[in-house]
Structure 1
Amino acid sequence: MTYTVKDILALQVAPALGCTEPVAIALGAAAAVSLLPGRQIDTIEIWVDPNIYKNGLAVTIPGTGGLNGLDMASALGAMGGDPTLKLEVLDPVDDAAVAAARSMVGDGRVTVHLLREQAGLYIKTVVSGHGHAAESVITGLHDNIVSLALDGQAVTESELLPKSPSANGKSHLAAMETWLKERCLDDLIELLDHLDDDDYDFLETGVNVNRRLAEYGLKHGPGLGVGRTFERLVRQGLIKRDMITAARILTASAADARMSGARLPAMSSAGSGNHGLTATLPIVAIEPFIDVDHAMVLAAIGLSHIITAYVKAHTGRLSAICGCSVAAGAGATAGVTYLMGGTKAHIAGAIKNLIEDLAGVICDGAKCGCALKLATAAGTAVQAALFSLHGVNVSFTDGIVGRSSEDTMRNIGTLTTQGMIETDRTILNIMLEKQFSDV
């Protein structure tokens, strides 16, 4: 099967309200509750893979006044979520739903099970009430509900289930990722030749959605206030507003807002809102510095999403490596280089430069500190592009950098899926020890 740029955008890019891991947990609960007769909820049990657990521990859930936790996310989805909204499932949640969720968690009626050996994204939710038990299972993608059941009987007729659950025996995501991994960089760039008006409109929507998060972060300075601090340093004359700093300010400001629970969606990329911020905002930030048609900016963002999806196809959806740095960062530097008139060779060089720089950045869960990592990724994406455009390219003799950008991106996938499994376990163990020591 052959995929188009429209197919990639449709499967890989979507609005998400809140960090996608707790949101996916909320979606699973809301989906299960939608099956429950009378919707009377007594208890909730959820089973999650280690990376969902890691990314859902500390990040603030939007619209809750600062609440966090996997149990709280599940209770919120059950008490007020709308599963038909997918990754915006928490949009209808109001004060009454928050109060009910707090009460449920406080009463110990939500139980979270960590499946330490589970590979890949996995969320199973069982909601019990009034003598009935409803179940949902999400795998692969954060909004991919693969099964529903009521009292042990499968529910096959539901708008929440995929209309065509598989392609050639594989999930649509797996089939697309297999196809992506077989492409070369030239193939990926050539996909841009088929962008149409609908694609440009969709990409523009993503720009506007993510820019609103950045504007909120700059205005209010939530979370760590990384973006606003950069802005203050510029106004004090301590640093200059160049392309690199502008990219850091815009991207970090949006991350500040999102990680602190601002009730604004992000346009995600490859299943992550922070990936979406990194893939789009550095490119948006450099537009005022160069003379270029706005359609080229949107095309560059399209390329960024494609490269991000390509890297994630190799690394997996969730891992020990910060995907905002190596996947969305690679996408962003490819987009910046393309926007500045770079050739395929320049784009390849920029990707290698960025991966050499950021390959060691770990993912230790979603939290306000992610704004620091996004600031680094955004600035490095612009720097890597500028260096490549000026002939600075990392040699294939250096570390994990390959002869080509494709080899380099495959190598980062190998490092992630084979070399950092124990690292991922160690990160989670450290987080769990810290969490339980505070109880």
Structure 2
Amino acid sequence: MNYTVKEILHLEVAPALGCTEPVAIALATAAAASVINNERPDHIEIWVDPNIYKNGLAVIIPGTGGLNGLDTAAALGALCGDPALGLEVLEPVTDEGVNAACKFKNENKVAVNLLQDQKGIYVRALLTYKDHVTEAIIEGVHDNITSLTMDSLPVTDSPLVKRTQAEKADVFKLEDFIKKLSLDDLIDMINDLDKDDFTFLKEGITYNMRLADYGLKHGSGLGVGLALERLARLKLLTRDMILSARIITSAAADARMGGIKLPAMSSGGSGNHGLTAILPIYAVSKFVDCDEKTLLEAIALSHLVTAYVKAQTGRLSAVCGCSVAAGAGATAGTTYLMGGTSSQMAGAITNLTEDLAGIICDGAKSGCALKLATAAGTAVQAALFAIHGVNVHSTDGIIGTSPEQTMQNIGTLSTQGMIDTDRTILKIMLEKHFAATNI
């Protein structure tokens, strides 16, 4: 099956409120709770794969005033979430709902289980009521509800399962399709963008700049973006296109990882990927002579390249996807924006990969703003280098003879070479977590 650029954007790019790992947990419990109306469960039990656990462990949940935890996400989803909103399931959460979820959790009514050997995205939520038991399962993609049952019987009339299964089945087929494409194929696709696609791409800028503006105004999260902005004002750093990309991308991550209740336009199943795929290109557009159409085409290319790399690496891995996947998208898009050729875009991707391939993913948290600042700045730098003839050679390390092979090598590194790394990262995080909770 072949996919159009419109279909790829529809499947890979969407608004997401909060980090998508705790959101996936909240979506699962909200879906299970939706089977029984107007009744609070007596107990919630969830089972998650290692990467959902890793990314959901420490990140702040939006609208909670700074709370985190997989158990918190589970309680919020069951008591307050609207599963019809997909990755924006926590939009209805209020202060009253947060208090109720905390009380529920503090009464030891939420149990979290780690499935150490589970591969790929997996969330199972089991809600126990006085007379019934409901269950929801999410697999493969953060909002892909593959099963919804009550008392072990399928809930056949649920629009949730019918809708998500129809949509997400296409995601897996899309990954098989996009893996077979070349960079030139992806570049050619942007010629098919229509008015609705441009409107959608422009919305992505609006969503993500709203987060950036909030982060710069309030110094949310770690405050990386605001710190860089102040350093530029003090003339301790030069406000060039690289620094501008770093400022707005990290500021948006500050706000998002700080739990601000504003959605991001995600890419490849991740809000932070969406920030990285869009904002560096938008920052560069302020420094070069380009029209809006070219800017939006560059962002579309960024999403396509991000999707290509994610198809190689998997949705979650030990490698920081903002660096190697969305970073690759951003550098390709930036090169396109500056009038670069396809060979220069290939060089930019290779340059970025050589620079950032070693960055690990140690879970979602406020510190992600530092990694997004690095990815954004490096994406712009890699593009500038490529345009001016600086290109890493295929004899270097994991770099391939083509951009496609380089990106495939990143996939091999992620899915085969760093399995033990991922386990070790999670082991360190768990030891820290349980040491802190036992104090």
Match of 2:14, SS? strand
1:165: Cα distance to partner?
A: 3.2
Gap regions ≥5 residues in structure 2: none
Aligned with 2:357 (options 356, 359, 373)? 359
Number of residue pairs the alignment of both structures matches = 437
Within 5 Å, give how 1:7-406 maps onto structure 2: 7-36=7-36, 38-163=38-163, 165=165, 171-406=169-404
Distance 1:324 1:364 in 2: 12
1:156: Cα distance to partner?
A: 2.2
Match of 2:127, SS? strand
CA contact (8 A) 1:252 1:372 kept: yes
1:406: Cα distance to partner?
A: 0.2
Distance 1:385 1:73 in 2: 39
1:40: Cα distance to partner?
A: 2.5
1:196: Cα distance to partner?
A: 0.1
Gap regions ≥5 residues in structure 1: none
Question: Which amino acid counterpart does residue 122 of structure 1 have in structure 2?
Answer: Y
1:173: Cα distance to partner?
A: 1.4
Match of 2:286, SS? helix
Question: Which amino acid counterpart does residue 222 of structure 2 have in structure 1?
Answer: L
1:84: Cα distance to partner?
A: 0.3
Distance 1:165 1:81 in 2: 20
Which structure 1 residue ranges, 4+ long, deviate > 4 Å from structure 2? none
1:37: Cα distance to partner?
A: 5.0
1:95: Cα distance to partner?
A: 1.3
TM-score of the two chains, using structure 2 as the length reference: 0.98
Q: Deviations over 1:8-35 (max 9, x none)?
A: 1100000001001001110101000000
Match of 2:128, SS? strand
1:301: Cα distance to partner?
A: 0.4
CA contact (8 A) 2:40 2:79 kept: no
1:171: Cα distance to partner?
A: 2.5
CA contact (8 A) 1:127 1:135 kept: yes
Question: Which amino acid counterpart does residue 314 of structure 1 have in structure 2?
Answer: Q
1:163: Cα distance to partner?
A: 3.6
Q: CA RMSD in A?
A: 1.0
Match of 1:204, SS? helix
Q: Deviations over 1:88-109 (max 9, x none)?
A: 1000011111111001110100
Distance 1:189 1:265 in 2: 28
TM-score of the two chains, using structure 1 as the length reference: 0.98
Distance 2:31 2:192 in 1: 36
Distance 2:38 2:212 in 1: 41
Distance 2:155 2:193 in 1: 38
Distance 2:46 2:163 in 1: 25
Distance 2:347 2:37 in 1: 58
Name 1:430's counterpart in structure 2: 428
Distance 1:94 1:338 in 2: 43
Question: Which amino acid counterpart does residue 21 of structure 2 have in structure 1?
Answer: E
CA contact (8 A) 1:347 1:385 kept: yes
1:162: Cα distance to partner?
A: 3.5
Match of 1:161, SS? helix
Distance 2:40 2:436 in 1: 33
Q: Deviations over 1:106-155 (max 9, x none)?
A: 01000000000000000000111122111100011111111100011011
Distance 1:298 1:270 in 2: 18
Distance 1:64 1:156 in 2: 34
Match of 2:165, SS? coil
Distance 1:37 1:325 in 2: 43
Q: Deviations over 1:289-346 (max 9, x none)?
A: 0110111101100000000000000000000000000000000000000000011100
Question: Which amino acid counterpart does residue 9 of structure 2 have in structure 1?
Answer: L
1:85: Cα distance to partner?
A: 0.4
